[in-house]
């Protein structure tokens, strides 16, 4: 039988308490994100870890430079130091901090998207003004020519109708 904690949950449940609401605790990541959003959170998370362990990573890279198979043996202390440092910062608190940073930057990303869209619309407007295009992307001369052709076709249709009516009478 599994031992129980003061809350009455088994050891198995207490090990997975982060996934469930236990008492007043809420899940560590209550907001589900899409796969690309989760990838952005992981990118922030790994960037933070790499920034904190930059010295150890540089030492390992300097040791491994211009080595092939001998790198495994010659750079073992640097590799162990780098891995120890990275494992030290790879935890749920760091992931939660990266997620919080991602949510904090959401407003900035939205502002950047809106700015980009505004610039695209402005560039499109300038392009249409420069080339003398209408909303459909046709030049003014082409639009005038199409209007002349359409007017001629309307006139021809009207003449044919009158001619047909005149023959019947």
Any idea which of 7-16, 41-50, 63-72, 141-150 has the lowest mean pLDDT?
A: 7-16
CA distance 22 to 34: 26
Tell me the CA distances in angstroms from 11 to 24, 37, 138, 160, one per residue in order. 19, 33, 72, 93
pTM of the model: 0.50
Has residue 18 got a pLDDT over 60? no
- So what's the pLDDT on residue 164? 62
**Sign (positive/negative) of CA torsion 40, 41, 46, 48?**
positive
- Higher-pLDDT residue of 28 and 12 is 28
Residue 69 to residue 96: CA distance in whole angstroms: 38
**Could you tell me which residues are beta bridge partners of residue 133?**
139
């Amino acid at each position: 039988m599994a031992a129980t904690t003061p809350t009455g949950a088994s050891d198995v449940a207490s090990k997975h308490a982060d996934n469930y609401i236990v008492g007043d605790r809420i899940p560590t990541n209550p907001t589900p994100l899409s796969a690309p959003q989760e990838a952005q959170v992981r990118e922030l998370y790994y960037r933070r870890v790499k920034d904190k362990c930059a010295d150890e990573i540089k030492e390992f890279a300097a040791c491994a430079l211009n080595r092939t198979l001998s790198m495994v043996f010659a750079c073992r202390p640097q590799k162990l130091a780098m891995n120890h440092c990275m494992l030290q910062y790879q935890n749920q608190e760091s992931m939660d901090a990266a997620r919080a940073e991602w949510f904090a930057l959401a407003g900035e990303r939205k502002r950047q998207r809106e700015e980009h869209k505004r610039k695209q619309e402005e560039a499109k407007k300038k392009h249409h003004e420069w080339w003398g295009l209408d909303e459909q992307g046709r030049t003014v001369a082409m639009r005038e020519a199409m209007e002349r052709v359409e007017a001629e076709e309307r006139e021809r249709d009207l003449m044919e109708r009158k001619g047909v009516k005149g023959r019947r009478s």
